[in-house]
Amino acid sequence: MTPTLRRAALFVKRLVGVVASPMKLGHAHGGLTVTPYRGYGSRREAFLTGRVFRQAPLSRGVPRRGFLRDLADVARRIARRGVAEASVDIRLGDNHLTVTTDRDGYFDACLPLVSPLPRERAWHRAELWVTAAEEGPVRASVEVFTPAPDTDLLVISDIDDTVMYTGVADKLRMLYRLFLEQPDQRTAFPGVAALYQALHRGADDQGERPILYVSRGPWVIYEMLETFFQLNRIPVGPILFLREWGISLRHPWPRRAEDHKRQLISRMLATFEGVPCLLIGDSGQHDPEVYTRIVEAHPGRVAAIYIRRVEQREDRQRAIQRLRDELRHTPCDLVLAADSVLIAEHARAHGFISEHGLAAVRHEVAALSEDEGAGDAAA
């Protein structure tokens, strides 16, 4: 087998394994199943999202593990369908709520925390029981993040072209990088892991700030994003904020990404009442415009906007400069940065991260630059 064919085979094997991974949770049996996504909340309420499916059982004769099992699970995943009007019973500590899935099988629950959760930890486990049309109950559990009462800052970040190189418009290239190249071969922007770790830990290196990620992609790439974050050592927050595209003959296009992002950020600011936030995005889409509108709609809540420059068009640079001028009368800086170091330097100067965090970003970027230089020289 030629090297090209070997790499192609490796790509297919790894990709199939990740796509098949959610089906392993069903233990090969068919029928009702639930896939909850990591939740988040404040000390007053918690938000949980997920989807209820009806899926086919694993056929007899299929091995319990290996590539053939993964292929069978991919086929089962493609064939499964969301279950409408399923009952989802949620318990988090001594708090309880029952919700019903929508026509596509999704549920989006806001659980009031009448009974407080333990304050000594940030992650809590919610238990779910699902029933539908005399099926079930099916049980699942999921982690829910609630920050400490003294949290000083909330970080809300885009993913596509902000954390990773390629966005939804170029998912094939992202998949190639994710499943063929090594984790340190630029699937993420240089310095991103150290920057987000520094933002997570805070100015004293002791914190555990919430970092919430938003993507323009659909829920079906959730597991791929989880894998990406783990491979690149980026702090894993509730990657809850993908879109349910809901494409149909009546509505052939998904909801506009900027509307999706603006509504979610407004919801986050309402949830974490009084906590200032950082907004991180890129210059390639509508992030600067959306974030500027957020600053205007929520005076005093946004401490800074960090925009990663991903293209060099002069008209785009001028448009972002105009937005920066609009914000001059507010306490919020809009920083257009070519790399993670410039973002980290501003964050350190304003007390958002520690000196150690800034040094870590500089070291990570320098190390990756040296590796690239060595690779170019060898070529």
Q: Which residue has the higher pLDDT, 21 or 318?
A: 318
Distance between CA atoms of residues 366 and 360, nearest Å: 10
The mean-pLDDT minimum among 220-224, 250-254, 345-349 falls in 250-254
Q: Cβ of 69: how many Cβ atoms within 10 Å?
A: 19
Give the pLDDT mean for 6-27: 61
- pLDDT one-digit tens code per residue, 120-156: 888 999 999 999 987 778 999 999 999 888 889 999 9
Residue pointed to by tokens 């500590």 = 93
- pLDDT one-digit tens code per residue, 244-285: 434 333 444 444 556 778 888 998 899 888 899 999 999 987
Distance between CA atoms of residues 309 and 184, nearest Å: 21
pLDDT of residue 10: 63
pLDDT of residue 371: 62
Mean pLDDT of the chain: 81
Percent of the chain with pLDDT over 70: 72
- pLDDT one-digit tens code per residue, 227-237: 778 888 888 77
Beta strands in the chain (DSSP E): 31-41, 45-55, 81-82, 87-92, 95-100, 106-112, 123-132, 135-145, 154-158, 211-218, 241-243, 277-282, 302-308, 333-337
Q: What is the pTM of this model?
A: 0.78
Question: What CATH number belongs to 28-145?
Answer: 2.60.40.10
pLDDT of residue 255: 44
Q: Which two tokens stand for residue 279?
A: 């907004």
Q: Where are the domains of the chain?
A: 28-145, 154-378
3-state secondary structure (DSSP) of residue 374: helix
pLDDT of residue 170: 55
Q: Which two tokens stand for residue 318?
A: 């001028």
**Looking at this protein, which amino acid is placed at residue 57?**
P
Label residue 169 by pLDDT band (50, 70, 90): very low
- pLDDT one-digit tens code per residue, 63-121: 666 666 666 666 666 667 788 999 999 999 999 999 999 988 999 999 999 999 998 88
The mean-pLDDT minimum among 103-117, 299-313, 325-339, 360-374 falls in 360-374
> Helices 222-231 and 3-20 meet at what angle, rounded to 10?
120
Q: Would you say residue 218 has pLDDT above 50? A: yes
Q: Which fold has domain 154-378?
A: Rossmann fold (3.40.50)
